[in-house]
Structure formats: C-alpha cells, structure tokens
Amino acid sequence: MTTSAPRVFSGIQPSGGLTLGNYLGALKRFVAAQDGGSETVYCIVDLHAITVWQDPAKLRHATRELAAGFIASGIDPARSILFNQSQVSAHAELAWIFNCVARMGWLRRMTQFKDKAGKNAEDASVGLFAYPNLMSADILVYHATHVPVGEDQKQHLELTRDIAIKFNNDFGVDFFPIVEPVIEGAATRVMSLRDGTKKMSKSDPSDQSRINLTDDADTIAQKIRKARTDPEPLPDTLDGLKDRPEARNLVNIYAALADITPDAVIAEHAGQGFGHFKPALADLAVAKLSPISAEMTRLMQDVSEIDRLLGAGADRSGDCRTDSRTHARHRRHDPVAPLARCGGRCSWPWTSRRSRPGHLWAHTISAPAEPRCGRKEAASGGCGNHLRKDPACGHRHQETERCSKKDRHQGIEAQHKHNDDEHPHQCRRHDREKHN
C-alpha cells in the first residue's frame, strides 16, 4: 500500500444553527488539527443538505453562517482549505463512480437512513439513501488519510474504507488510501441539557436543550444554570457517574472546554453539589464561547467577504485533486500531464482544477487508448498522404486500401465502398453518391 501524505478532511452539513455540540465535537478539533502539522481540508457539505427539501434562501444563509462559525472558531482560510461542496463538481462526479462500486446491501445497513427515513422509507429521496457514497467521495477525492468524526458517523467511515478497498481490488490498483477515523476526547458526543440520553441537536423543539454558538453571554449562563441534573453531589471517581447521564454530560462539557480529562474535573470538584459546579461551568462556557458568538455576528454583516473566502477555498482545493489525477494517470501509464488536454479517448480540456474527475476515473479503470494518428489530415480531407496499411496511422479503417488523392482523381472510387461509421475520412471533392 502506497503511503499517502497525512491529510485531514471533514465536513459539516449547513442545516442551520451551530450548537455547542458542533463546536466541541467538531470545530474545536478542526482547529487543533490545523495546528497539528497535517494538511487540513474542511468542507461545508451543502449537497448533503438537499437530500431533504431545502428553502434555497435559507440554505444560502445557513451555508454562510456555518462558514462564519468555522472562521470564528479559529479556522484560518489561509492555512486550511475551507469551501462549500457545491462549488466543486468533483464531489458529485466521483460519487457516481462510487454508486457503481458500493453494494446495495452495504447501504441498507446504514442506520442513519433508517433513522431519518423512518416508516416513510419508500417516500425518501434516492439521495438520502445513497448519500454515504457522496460522503465517501468527499473524503477520497482528496486522498484524505484521517477524518475527525463523531460516533454517529463512524459507520459511514467504515463504508468509505470498504469502497476504497473494493475499488483498489477490482481494478488492481493501489490508489485510494484506507481512511482512519479520528474519535477521541471527552466530549466527542455532547448530549442535550434537558435529557442526558439524547444528543444535543438543533432540531430539538426546546431551545433550552442546547447552547447555540450565536447565544450571548447571558443566555449561555442561563441555559447552564437551568440544565437538568440530579440532587446528588459529584462523586470521588468517574465511575460514580455511570448511571447519571445528565451529570456525566456536564462533566464532559467542562472537561472539553477546559482541555482537561473528566477525571481531572472530578478530582477538582468531588463532593460539590451542582449549586457550585454549574456556576463554575457557566463562567468557563461564557469565557470560551462568547468571543465566537461576537465574531460570527461581525462576519455575517459582510456576507460578500464570506463568499470570497469560500470561492478562494474551492480554487485551492484543486491542488489536492491535481495530485490525485497525476497518481491515477501514472497508474495507467498515461503520459498526458495534468491540466493539459486529454490525448487519450476524448477531447475534454483540463482547464479547470474543479472539473472532470469522472473522466479521470474512466481513464483509471479503462484500458489505455490505442495509438492514434499523429499526422495532420490533408487539406482535402482524409489520410491521403498515408501509404496503404501504414502502421503509423491508428485510424480504424476497415478497408484494406486507403482513400488517397490519386485514387479519387483517377476515377477508381467505385473500387472501395465508404461507410460513414467505419471510414470517417470521406472524399470531399466528389459527390458521395458516386461511391455508392
């Protein structure tokens, strides 16, 4: 297996409204990865969002708000690649290739489709069923090696690995890397402030169940003070929180915000009731989150700048895919350089770094093109300057004799029949009916 350069990829769907769960489970980790020495690619996956009905205006707003959340949380567009998915057609094109690689049984086992479609699975969109293939394309089009994900997305990473392995085995190549999920830390999964057994979600009807990244300092503190807990004090060891989901959730949130372990939190606050612990957590949350809220508000006042940054990120993302194209061409011994016109079996120009991955993988999985005639056609048309059966000419003439100027002017055209499909070089100076 060829070793790929470390590259981190992750994406978030612009479903509207970033929460503390998004920050602790994703954005905060993305910032840490940005400082970890690996190349980082972060994507706002707006194509995933349209697997269910979206109001276009609201989707645009949610996309920009999410971009503001990335930047306000510490993602630097100059150091990381940040863009929205729909600006780069490579994602959708590779997803179609993966639709032909992945198996129906694999997708039927995806629990998220069952959860989202529920009893109305027959009315769900095909996109909702097949979107794990698009997720795999998002990752593998950049040859990402590591993907930070929550526990609920781990199954999709396993599918991505299966697709990469099957593609490599099917076509005898060592092309796609086997992606490793990055799941670590205290608050990988942040739970609801009202029910410690449910994930914190923007879709929960109660706004008190979550902390939004757009909440001001007073709102953040008020939500933490009203968070559901139990009457027992914090135990001496973490094992004492085993059957106390709400208490364990607040301890995990504190640990993640403070960059310490849950055990360290317990050691510091053991024996304290929540009347003491909640104010300490509220102060910490306000200190960490209120600057993010203020910066998001500032950024959303100039959406043209957000659009500019996303467009620049989409352009930069082509640098990663250019490496992939070069790798694929070398695997098939294709001499054509990237960003040049294809000289194989089509005339697609590689003028845009954002385009043509479907063409790329067609070259990867298909046989090399037969040699083509490199000589310019005569001004009168056809290969008239070629000797009969010239081995240097790759045109697929099925006649044993070539059509030449001499033949045409001596009036012996009737000796060979022309077929438009089989012999593309017709005699242009004579009425075609005379040949038939």
Farthest-apart Cα atoms in the chain, separation: 109
Place of tokens 């109305």: 120
Active site residue 288: no
Residues forming beta bridges with residue 81, ordered by sequence position = 41
Q: At what angle do helices 357-365 and 90-99 cross, to 10 degrees?
A: 40
- Cβ atoms of 423 and 436 within 8 Å: the answer is no
406 carries an active-site annotation = no
**Residue tagged active-site, from 119, 166, 198, 199:** 199
Rounded to 5 degrees, what are φ and ψ at 191?
Answer: -100, 165
Which one of 28, 58, 116, 198 is the catalytic residue?
116
Phi and psi torsions of 433, nearest 5°: -65, -30
Helix, strand, coil fractions of the chain, as percent rounded to 5: 50, 5, 45
Spatial distance between the Cα atoms of 152 and 162, rounded to a whole number of angstroms: 17
Residue type, 380: S
Distance CA 18, CA 61 (A): 12
189, amino acid identity: R
Catalytic residue among 28, 114, 119, 202: 202
At position 239, the amino acid (one-letter code) is D
Residues 6+ positions from 385 with CB-CB distance below 8 Å: 375, 378, 404
| Catalytic residue flag (residue 434) | no
Measured CA to CA in angstroms, residue 16 lies from 115, 198, 202 at distances of 20, 19, 8
Q: Which residues are catalytic?
A: 116, 199, 202
